């Protein structure tokens, strides 16, 4: 084992930090399996129109509650819709919502506001952090539910007016309001944790000698922050993004299950759980509930395992 560790250390010499991290991550089989599973799920959602054997709302009332078979590998629901196809289309919804929410919330708002608060300090830091404390004063999921339920009718009314005045149609019926409200709400609530993390990293890094050297050379504050300081704090950010993706998927499922998220006919794992969660259905056809629940559980579990693997691979103290 000692000889093997020494050999690995020699192989990593002269390589970039990112390549070293990737090599360490590849040696963690659980993390790599989780990554492969998530890639398959998200690519399956992206190519759902071509991969799904049936449309997500295609009904065949002659095969209602059909048991798993060669034609319907996961059976059909109470409206004769193919469960496998709906799960694949539901992956598309989960991918859209999670990527959009994390990109706009954690990546854009969280990193930007956290960086500015940590580097500028003083009243800028105070304002940003106190606003974040207001969001943290409420349970995150409860706050998401309240905002989504409050904002959705107003967004729908606004887009209806836009359609009327512009002479267009189909914008509201396409379900764009549902997607906009869900990922917008998640982004509005999800930036705080990332901002606090980035702020702490910036406060530590900005005192290092290379930052003082950049300041002495006359570099602007924005260049020092985003070119010199922020890249040094990117490792914990990547780990947090993995966790945030899992949280976004969970929140989307819960919102759809409560009826304030993605609405029919658009597919959603949370809506599938709601529709097949009746006592009678659970007793007679339990697979209709078990299938979407298992998919959601595996996706969230995979994100957590991937986050653990990334933390070990990107941590410079792990050699």
Over residues 267-295, the mean pLDDT reads 87
CA distance 82 to 80: 7
CA distance 182 to 184: 5
Q: Is 76 helix (H, G, I), strand (E, B) or coil?
A: strand
Domain span holding position 149:
37-314
Over residues 102-108, the mean pLDDT reads 86
Strand ranges in the chain using DSSP code E only, listed in sequence order? none
**Domain contains 247:** yes
**Domain contains 31:** no
Q: What was the pLDDT predicted at 47?
A: 93
Over residues 4-17, the mean pLDDT reads 52
Whether 316 has a pLDDT exceeding 80, the answer reads: no
**Domain contains 2:** no
Q: What was the pLDDT predicted at 1?
A: 45
> Of how many residues is the chain composed?
319
Chain-wide mean pLDDT for the chain? 83
Q: What was the pLDDT predicted at 5?
A: 47
Residue owning tokens 């989504």:
148
Over residues 102-110, the mean pLDDT reads 87
**Domain contains 233:** yes
316 versus 155: the higher-pLDDT residue is: 155
Over residues 69-96, the pLDDT tens digits come to 888 888 888 888 999 999 999 999 999 9
**Domain contains 103:** yes
The CATH number covering residue 123 comes to: 1.10.3720.10
Over residues 207-230, the mean pLDDT reads 77
**Domain contains 176:** yes
Whether 155 has a pLDDT exceeding 60, the answer reads: yes
CA distance 57 to 74: 16
Is residue 167 very low, low, confident or very high in pLDDT (cuts 50, 70, 90)? confident
Total domain count, the chain: 1
CA distance 212 to 232: 15
Backbone angles phi, psi at 76, to 5 degrees: -130, 160
Over residues 240-258, the mean pLDDT reads 88
**Domain contains 146:** yes
Structure tokens at 148: 């989504």
Over residues 292-305, the pLDDT tens digits come to 999 999 999 999 99
- Taking the CA atoms of 74, 84, 302 and 281 in sequence, report the sign of the dihedral they define: negative
Contact assessment for residue 42 and residue 95, using Cβ atoms and an 8 Å cutoff: yes
Over residues 181-201, the mean pLDDT reads 86
Q: What was the pLDDT predicted at 79?
A: 86
**Domain contains 183:** yes
Whether 190 has a pLDDT exceeding 80, the answer reads: yes
Q: What was the pLDDT predicted at 145?
A: 83
């Amino acid at each position: 084992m000692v000889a093997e560790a020494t050999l690995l250390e020699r192989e990593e010499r002269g390589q970039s930090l990112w390549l070293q991290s990737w090599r360490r991550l590849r040696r963690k089989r659980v993390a790599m399996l989780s990554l492969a599973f998530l890639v398959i799920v998200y690519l399956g959602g992206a190519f759902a129109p071509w991969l799904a054997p049936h449309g997500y709302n295609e009904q065949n009332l002659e095969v209602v509650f059909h048991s798993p078979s060669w034609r319907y590998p996961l059976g059909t629901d109470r409206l004769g819709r193919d469960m496998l196809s709906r799960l694949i289309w539901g992956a598309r919804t989960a991918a859209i919502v999670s990527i959009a929410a994390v990109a706009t919330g954690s990546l854009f708002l969280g990193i930007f506001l956290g960086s500015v608060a940590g580097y500028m300090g003083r009243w800028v830091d105070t304002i940003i952090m106190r606003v974040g404390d207001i969001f943290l004063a409420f349970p995150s999921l409860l706050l998401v539910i309240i905002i989504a339920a409050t904002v959705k009718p107003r967004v729908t009314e606004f887009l209806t007016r836009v359609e009327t005045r512009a002479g267009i149609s189909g914008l509201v019926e396409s379900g764009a309001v549902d997607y906009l409200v869900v990922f917008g709400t998640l982004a509005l609530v999800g930036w705080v944790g990332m901002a606090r993390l980035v702020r702490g990293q910036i406060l530590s890094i900005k005192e290092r000698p290379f930052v003082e050297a950049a300041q002495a050379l006359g570099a602007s504050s924005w260049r020092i922050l985003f070119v010199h300081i922020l890249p040094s704090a990117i490792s914990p950010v990547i780990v947090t993004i993995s966790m945030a993706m899992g949280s976004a998927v969970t929140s989307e499922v819960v919102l759809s299950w409560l009826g304030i998220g993605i609405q029919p006919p658009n597919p959603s794992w949370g809506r599938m759980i709601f529709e097949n969660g009746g006592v009678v259905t659970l007793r007679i056809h339990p697979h209709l509930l078990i299938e979407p629940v298992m998919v959601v559980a595996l996706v969230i579990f995979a994100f957590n395992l991937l986050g653990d693997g990334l933390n070990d691979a990107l941590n410079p103290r792990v050699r």
